[in-house]
Amino acid sequence: MQRMKIGIMGGTFNPIHNGHLLLGEMAYEQFGLDKVLIMPTKHPYYKDISGNIMEKDRVAMVQLAVNDNPHFEFSALELNREGTTYTVDTLEELHQKFPENDYYFILGKDSLDYLESWKDVTRIFELCKIIAASRDDLDGKIDEKIAYLNRKYHAEIFRLYSPNLEISSSYLRKELSTGKSCRYLVPDSVLAYIKENRLYG
86 binds ligand NAP (CB under 6 A): yes
Closest CA to 55 of 93, 15, 18: 15
Residues 137-142: contacts with CB within 8 Å, 24+ apart?
Answer: 137/109, 142/109, 142/112
- Out of 102, 110, 144, 156, the residue judged to bind ligand NAP by CB under 6 A: 110
200 binds ligand NAP (CB under 6 A): no
The neighbouring-strand residues paired with 26 are none
- Out of 34, 165, 171, 189, the residue judged to bind ligand NAP by CB under 6 A: 165
Interatomic CA distance for residues 49 and 10, integer angstroms = 14
Interatomic CA distance for residues 6 and 99, integer angstroms = 12
145 binds ligand NAP (CB under 6 A): no
* Residues contacting ligand NAP: total by CB under 6 A: 26
Segment near ligand NAP (CB under 6 A), from 12-20, 66-74, 181-189, 193-201?
12-20
- Amino acid 156 reads E
Binding to ligand NAP (CB under 6 A) within 117-136 occurs at 118-119, 133, 135
Please give the angle made by the CA atoms of 162, 165 and 169, to the nearest 5 degrees. 125
Say if residues 151 and 41 touch (Cβ distance below 8 Å).
Answer: no
Closest CA to 103 of 75, 144, 65, 67: 75
12 binds ligand NAP (CB under 6 A): yes
Q: Which is nearer to ligand NAP, 1 or 93 (CB)?
A: 93
- Out of 37, 107, 131, 199, the residue judged to bind ligand NAP by CB under 6 A: 107
Binding to ligand NAP (CB under 6 A) within 177-196 occurs at none
Segment near ligand NAP (CB under 6 A), from 16-24, 25-33, 50-58, 175-183?
16-24
Closest CA to 104 of 46, 33, 40: 33
Segment near ligand NAP (CB under 6 A), from 38-46, 49-57, 151-159, 175-183?
38-46
Contact footprint for ligand NAP (CB under 6 A): 10-13, 19-20, 23, 41, 44, 46, 85-87, 107-111, 118-119, 133, 135, 165, 167-169
